[in-house]
Amino acid sequence: MKKNIQFIILALVIIGAITLWQNSVWQAKNKAPQVVNQEIVQENIVTAPLNEEPVPAQIEIAVTFFFSETDTQNISYSLAENNTKSLFTISQEIAKEKNWDWQYQDYGELGTLVSKINNTQNGQDNKYWQYYIDDKQPQISADKYIPKSGEKIEWRFAESKF
């Protein structure tokens, strides 16, 4: 009977040793990176979620409003690098932010004509709102023009050359 008890104890010790050994092997195999809430966790290093989209690059443009020879406003405006906003929309947003009166006339396919910015209305002293890009007046309406980085953008209240 004593030998049976010794045999049972020896069997239990062997089974316990095998169980511990298998447990340590299982833990070593599962020490690989784990995905938790879409974040990779490995040895206390946390990386960003896998599905995070990159932040689009920003560009700054400067828009200058020449109301008169003594009244000029320089405005900085941030845009996404792949901007699709027209100069009209950008200028309208600036006017809203500055609490300026903003009036325009839509001429369909010909485009939109800005007729008033702040207190300056087209026709005063035979002057009209016109925009310039790098000191040149484009032959396209502001609602169809998409500004690019590095351009010098100006709204001038001046006599029309046309």
Can you read off the two tokens belonging to residue 103? Answer: 């009036």
pTM value surpassing 0.75 = no
pLDDT (tens, 9 = 90+) of the chain, 162 residues, equals: 666 666 666 655 566 556 666 666 556 566 555 544 454 445 555 555 566 666 667 888 899 999 988 999 999 988 888 888 999 999 999 999 999 999 999 999 999 999 999 999 999 989 999 999 999 999 999 999 999 888 999 999 999 876
Strand pairing class (120-121; 127-133): unpaired
- Contact 128/157 with Cβ under 8 angstroms? yes
In the chain, which residues fall in CATH 2.170.130.30? 58-159
Which residues, 6+ apart, have CB-to-CB distance to 107 below 8 Å?
113, 141
- Sign of the CA dihedral with 116 first, then 108, 76, and 153 last: negative
Q: Which CATH class is domain 58-159?
A: mainly beta
Query: DSSP labels for 39-81?
Result: EEEETTEE---TTPPPPPPEEEEEEEEESSSS-EEEEEEEEET
Tell me phi and psi for residue 124, to 5 degrees.
-65, 125
